Structure 1
């Protein structure tokens, strides 16, 4: 039977979505809006003449994300499974389109965006999510090949290599690392043999290392990451200013709105380095709290994925795993860059940093997770009802036997 495109969710079902998941997500979104407002006040006033331009834009992006999410939550995961290959091809097309002169928008030397007038669509954000949907379907269709044959392991990696080539042409090294790491993690969770995983992981690390040192600006970033204070007013400026923000924040912070580094000292304070401003204003305890919230969010997504697998719905389970891996990878890289544990690269903090593509795509994927949760609840309700009916029938049969005796 062909699944319907729209399978509407009732208000009662919306209210039944995992309470901890919803509350954690809502808290992170509120914190993100507060931090975008605080971190962007100075640059917004300088560029647009009023301090709340970026806050207003972020609210618009949030509204668009909620609209997109409200559509996705009413689409059956069976439809997503069916259209996974199409979604992957669409994202591949966007990665090609963004490289076309006159269509792709270039910012700071990177051509990663397509101007949609309301916001700039970052093709790599779409590619990451669409690849998760495709890989979830692939792990279901080719489960035996992934577990038993090299071809099942190599085919998705070959496809991923094509994505990486297009991402590196933009260039977007950070998205390349996240995409490759997510695909490999999903293959591992899908049952790929450990020796295959380790071998390809070593090869991938070697390839990424070659890419990292192939360009002079990447080498400079690596050297500055090792010792940003060697050139604190030039190549190491951004990281050294971020570290100063941590020093100012100490344990309890300067208070919301009281950051000094956001006053044109720290570049990209409301995007890539918003975590540094958050720690400066709320202290190390505030930073740990935010990381804890992300950990809780990811754990609830994994829990929903595990429930889907237990109900015999591997596509939904793998999709939840993939979305959670995407969030973990981006949080780890962004926080690592902000704290100086990783080389500087342009990667936003999900649901926190300013940006239309990141917020809309990430929040939309979490609405899909909510959809999986609702379908789990539906199946659980049906199974519970069947069990009750079965027990009732057994009891009636037993009563009849006793009456006959």
Structure 2
């Protein structure tokens, strides 16, 4: 008896979740407006063109919307047939970051590959491909999750491979981020808790070692624990961000009216763009952002829980968690609640790799929302 994909095979489709789509479009539009305002002065001062960042972001937003539309309609069963090539291709892209002439190194980090006049960050693709692979493999092996060699080891090794490649790019925060999100999928798939104890027994001391053996990571951690330790060094960006957010007050200074976005917060158009948004939109704008994020999260998880198919449920949960946890992690750093990382704010931060991949990810979540509800599924001989 085959029931998981019965509805799709018989042609049953319900319309996509319009609230989910609306939240994605609004977050994208709000992000573009914020980036334009946050980056104009900086781009004009250092590049001689105030539209330097927003022009590139709009181009990638257009590409991302095409990918969003395609991903929301593609047959997921067809996509599953390409998972192995997708994983292999993503591994190759991650390796290319280390190849001279192809990889691009900035500030000691080899995270990008050159694509003509632009660059692409393969670790952003890992945030999509790894949950896709894990959802596929856990669905395929759901009867063998108690077997270490055939059930647990294959997904664990692929996760470790991506962790190692991203760590070697000097991108420790993203490596930890994808590992933790992978563990969430392991848990949702029903992997026994004893395996998590073993994984954490390895991950925690290993992460501590990685932090203690790199000066910039150690300085960030010390600055987080003791904010007054280095106020003009490692802690300067976060302290400036907090002051910028507080200056927005209740209503904000108005879009384009922020005064601290040029020199007060370094790289404010990138990982700290939320502080520029909070200064100009105020507390009301911050609440609006979290309201939109909540709508996205609730509708996304609702989509996952209402499908009776293991693959689709795990895929939607994994992809929603990737976007939401990334947003919460970024805003937590910006307000000083978490140690500084290099995690961008989805839909907002400058970076075409992040925006295009986020929209592609969102498209797959919308795709799952088109699946009929549990009660609409039925057996097909």
Taking structure 1 as the reference length, the TM-score comes to: 0.85
Equivalent pair of 1:228/1:237 in contact (CA under 8 Å): no
Stretch moving more, 328-337 or 223-232 = 223-232
Equivalent pair of 1:271/1:355 in contact (CA under 8 Å): yes
**Aligned positions of 1:73-112 closer than 5 A:** 73-112=72-111
> Whose RCO is larger (CA < 8 A, sep 6+)?
2
Structure 2: 5+ residue runs without aligned partners? Answer: 1-7
| Distance across 1 between alignment mates of 2:356 and 2:266 | 24
Shift of 1:73: 3.0
Query: Number of residue pairs matched?
Result: 368
Shift of 1:202: 4.2
| Distance across 2 between alignment mates of 1:250 and 1:237 | 21
Give the aligned partner of residue 215 of structure 2. Answer: 216
Stretch moving more, 181-190 or 200-209 = 200-209
| 2:327 is the counterpart of 1:331 | yes
- Match of 2:144, SS state, is helix
| Distance across 1 between alignment mates of 2:250 and 2:209 | 39
Taking structure 2 as the reference length, the TM-score comes to: 0.90
| Distance across 2 between alignment mates of 1:137 and 1:160 | 14
Give the aligned partner of residue 358 of structure 2. Answer: 362
**Aligned positions of 1:233-272 closer than 5 A:** 233-272=232-271
Structure 1: 5+ residue runs without aligned partners? Answer: 1-6, 8-12, 387-405
Give the aligned partner of residue 4 of structure 2. Answer: none
Give the aligned partner of residue 168 of structure 2. Answer: 169
Shift of 1:19: 1.5
Bigger helix share = 1
| 2:336 is the counterpart of 1:340 | yes
| 2:349 is the counterpart of 1:353 | yes
**Aligned positions of 1:264-283 closer than 5 A:** 264-283=263-282
* Residues 54 and 173 of structure 1, relative CA distance in 2, 3 Å threshold: same
| Distance across 1 between alignment mates of 2:350 and 2:375 | 39
Give the aligned partner of residue 142 of structure 2. Answer: 143
Equivalent pair of 1:249/1:284 in contact (CA under 8 Å): yes
CA RMSD of aligned residues (A): 2.2
| Distance across 2 between alignment mates of 1:196 and 1:109 | 35
Equivalent pair of 2:320/2:365 in contact (CA under 8 Å): no
Give the aligned partner of residue 391 of structure 1. Answer: none
- Match of 1:375, SS state, is coil
